[in-house]
Structure 1
Amino acid sequence: MSTLTVPPNLSSPRQDAIDLYKAFKGFGCDSSTVVKILAHRDATQRNLIQHEYRAMYHEELTTRLSKELGGDLKKAMMLWILDPANRDATIVRQALTGDVIDLRAATEVLCSRTPSMIQTIKQAYLARFGAYLEHDIQNLATGDHQKLLLSYTGVIRFEGPQFDPSMVATDAKALYKAGEKKLGTDEKVFIHIFSERSSAHLAAIASTYHDAYGSSLEKAVKSETSGLFEFGLLTILRCAENPAKYFAKLLRKSMKGLGTNDTMLIRVVVSRTEIDMQYIKAEYQKKYKKALSAAIHSETSGHYRAFLLALVGPN
C-alpha cells in the first residue's frame, strides 16, 4: 500500500512545470518548492510534468534537476522522477557499471521484485542503456550467484496465491536432501527451486520444511551457502514470506550505527513508496518500537529530510 499523498485539488502538469521553472530561476534553487511539487505526484503525473517542461522550455526536467540540486536530495530526486521500471533499471545499472561495483545492491533489487516487475525492468534496461541486463550480470557476477541471478531474472513465475501442497512437500524434501542431509551442497537444486517457484509456493515450502525437519529453511540456506549466493537466496526467501518485514530491516540497517547509509535509505524509500510503504512502516514500528518517520528525521536533515518524510508520510 502506497504512502504517496496527492493533493485533492491538483494543479495541471503544465502549471507544475511553470512553477518548477520559477523555482529554478534566480540565485539558488527553491528546493522547498521542488520537493512540495514532485514529492506529491505519482509516476503518471511526473511523466506529464516532464513532457510539459520539455515542450515549454526545450530542456529535460531531469537535466535541470541535476544542475540545480545537490547531495543526497539530488540522488533521491533523480531516482524519484523516473517511473518504477526505469528507476529499478537505473539502480541496477549503476550498481553493475558504476565507479563502485555493488553486486549486493543489484542482487537486493532483482531478487526482491516480482516476475512482472523484472520483465519491465529488463525492457527498461535495454531501452535506456542499450544493453541487456543478462549480459551485464554475466560480465560482473560469478559462480552460483551468477547462475541464480540469470535464472531468477529469466524465468517467468506464477504470481498468484495458489500452490500445489504435494509439490511443496516434494520441493521441501529435495532442498533437505540437497542441503542438510548431504555432505556438501547441491547448489543446482537450490537455484532451480528458488528461481522457478512462486512466492506463495516458496513461503509454503519454508513452512513445510520447518514442520518436517525441525529447523528453518533460512537456517539451512545460511549453513549450506555463503557470500552473494547466500544473500540472493535469503532475499528471495524473505521477500516470499514477508517483503514488508524484509524492507523494514533494510531501512533499519541503513540508519543503524555510526553514520547513515544514504544510498540504501534512498533506494528503499524511493522504490517502495508507491508499492508497500504503509506495510513497511507498520513492520518497522512493530519490530523496532519506533516510527520510521522518526528514525528518518533523526538521521537526515534539510530538504533531503523533508523529501523523504513527504514520501514516507505521517506516522
Structure 2
Amino acid sequence: MATLTVPPVPLNPRDDAIQLYKAFKGFGCDTAAVIAILAHRDATQRSYIQQEYRSMYNDDILKRLSSELSGKLETAVLLWMHDPAGRDAIILRQGLTRDFINLEAVTEIICSRTPSQVQHLKGIYHGTFLEYLEHNIEQQASGDHQKLLLACVNKPRYEGMEVDRELAAKDAKALYKAGEKKLGTDEKVFVQIFSERSRAHLVAINTCYHDMYGRSLKKAIKSETSGLFESALLTILQCAENPAKYFAKVLYKSMKGLGTNDTTLIRVIVTRTEIDMQYIKAEYFKKYKKSLNDAVHSETSGHYRTFLLSLLGPNH
C-alpha cells in the first residue's frame, strides 16, 4: 500500500511543466510550489512531466532541479524523479562507484528486491552506465558478502508461494550443520540456500529450523556470521518474512541517536512510498510506539521536511 496522494482528477503534465518552469523563473526558486507538484505525482506522471518539460523548454528538468535546489532536498527530489528500477540502479551505482562507497545501500537494494526486480534493474544498470553490475560488485565487495550478492544478481529464483516441506526441512538441517553444529561456519551452504530459494521457501526453512532446533534462524545467523555478510543474510530472511517490518527498523536506526543518517532516510522513504509505505508506517508505530511522520518531523526541517512528509501522507 502506497502513501502517495495524487490529485483525484489527473492533471495535464503540460500544465505541471508550465507551473514548474514558472517556479524556477526569476530570482530564487519557489521551492514550495515545486514540492507541491512533484511530491503528489506518481512515477508515470513524473515521467510525462520530464518529457513535456524537455519538449516545451528544450531543457532537462533534472538538471534544472539540480541547479535550483540544494542539499538534502535536492538529493531526495532528484531520486524521486526516477521510476523504481532506474532509481535502484542509481542507488547501486552511487554505492559502488562514488568516493564514498556505500555497501549497506547496495546490500539493501539487492537483498530486499524480488528476483524479477533485480533482473530488471540489472538490465537498466547496464543500459544506463554501460557497465555490468556484477563487475562493479566484484570490484567493491569482497569475501562471502560478494559471493552472496553476485549469486542474488545472477540466479533467477522461483517467486511463487508453493513450498516443498521436505526440502525446507532438509535445508534447515543443512544450515544447522553448516553453522551452529560445527566449529566455524560453512558459508558456502548459507550463500547457496539464501540465493537460490524463494521467499516462501525461506519462511518455511525458518519455521522448520525453529521446530527442529528450538531457536530462530535469525539468531543462528547472528551468532555464526558477521559484518556485511550477516547483514545481507538477515535482509534476505527478513524481507522474505515481512519487508515492511524490515524497512521500519532501517528507518528507526537511521534516526536513532545523535544526528540522522539522511542518506538512508531519503533512500527508504523515496523507494518505498509507492510500494508499501502504509505497511511500513503501521509496523513502525507497532514497534516503536511513535508514528513515522512524527519521527521524521522531529529529525528534519524546512523544505526537506515538507517533501518527506508529503511522501509519507497523512499522519494516522
Which TM-score applies when normalising by structure 2?
A: 0.98
Where 1:184 maps in the other structure, the secondary structure is coil
2:193 corresponding residue in structure 1: 193
* Residue in 1 that maps onto 2:202: 202
Q: CA deviation at 1:174?
A: 0.7
* C-alpha separation in 2, matches of 1:5 and 1:74: 21
Match of 1:49? 49
- Confirm whether residue 247 of structure 1 aligns to residue 247 of structure 2: yes
TM superposition shift of 1:9? 2.2
Equivalence map 1:11-160=2 (5 Å):
11-160=11-160
Match of 2:62, as an amino acid?
A: T
Q: State yes or no: 1:228 paired with 2:250.
A: no
Between stretches 70-79 and 2-11, larger displacement belongs to: 2-11
Residue deviations 1:86-132 (CA, integer Å, cap 9, x gap): 10110111011011111121111111111111011101111111111
Match of 2:237 in 1: 237
**Structure 2 runs not aligned, ≥5 long:** none
Amino acid across the alignment from 2:28: G
**Alignment partner of 1:7: what SS?**
coil
2:142 and 2:186 map into 1 onto residues whose CA distance is: 17
CA distance in 2, matches of 1:56, 1:130: 29
Q: Residue 159 of structure 2: SS of its match in structure 1?
A: coil
Deviation at 1:245, TM superposition (A): 0.5
The one-letter code sitting in structure 2 at the alignment partner of 1:178 is A
User: What is the percentage of aligned positions where both structures have the same residue?
Assistant: 68
- Structure 2 letter corresponding to 1:248: A
- CA deviations over 1:189-243 (Å, ceiling 9, x no partner): 1000000011111011111101110111011111111111111111111111111
> Hey, what does 2:172 align to over in structure 1?
172
Are 1:184 and 2:165 an aligned pair?
Answer: no
Which residue number corresponds to residue 4 of structure 2? 4
Find the aligned partners of 2:299 and 2:213 in 1 and give their Cα distance. 42
4+ runs deviating over 6 angstroms: none
SS in 1 for 2:87: helix
After superposition, the C-alpha distances for 1:58-83 in whole angstroms (9 at most, x for unaligned) are 11110100000011110000100000
1:273 paired residue number: 273
Cα distance in 1 for residues equivalent to 2:107 and 2:58: 37
1:166 CA displacement:
0.9
- Rounded Cα–Cα distance in structure 1 between residues aligned with 2:248 and 2:275: 14
Shift of 1:10: 2.6
Coordinate RMSD, CA, aligned: 0.8
Give the letter for the 2:307 counterpart: F
Displacement, 1:11? 1.7
Aligned to 2:299: 299
Q: Please report how far the alpha carbon of residue 294 of structure 1 lies from its aligned counterpart in structure 2 after TM superposition.
A: 0.7
Quote the Cα distance in structure 2 between the aligned partners of 1:182 and 1:260: 40
Superimposed CA distance per residue, residues 247-302 of structure 1 (whole angstroms, 9 cap, x where no aligned partner)? 00011011111111110000000000011000000000000111111111111111
Distance 1:48 1:183 in 2: 58
Q: Distance in 2 between matches of 1:271 and 1:280?
A: 12
Question: Which residue identity does 1:229 align to in structure 2?
Answer: F
Once residues 76 and 231 of structure 1 are traced to their aligned partners in structure 2, the CA distance between those partners, rounded to angstroms, is 25
For residues 162 and 281 of structure 1, what CA distance do their matches in structure 2 show?
Answer: 29
Give the 3-state SS of the residue equivalent to 2:157 in structure 1. Answer: coil
**SS across alignment from 1:157:** coil
Give the whole-Å Cα distance in 2 for the aligned partners of 1:59 and 1:240.
42
Query: 1:286 maps to what in 2?
Result: 286
User: Structure 1 residue 22: deviation in Å?
Assistant: 0.3
Letter in 2 for 1:57: Y
Structure 1 unaligned spans of 5+: none
2: CA distance between counterparts of 1:278 and 1:160?
24
The number of aligned residues is 315
Q: Distance in 2 between matches of 1:153 and 1:109?
A: 11
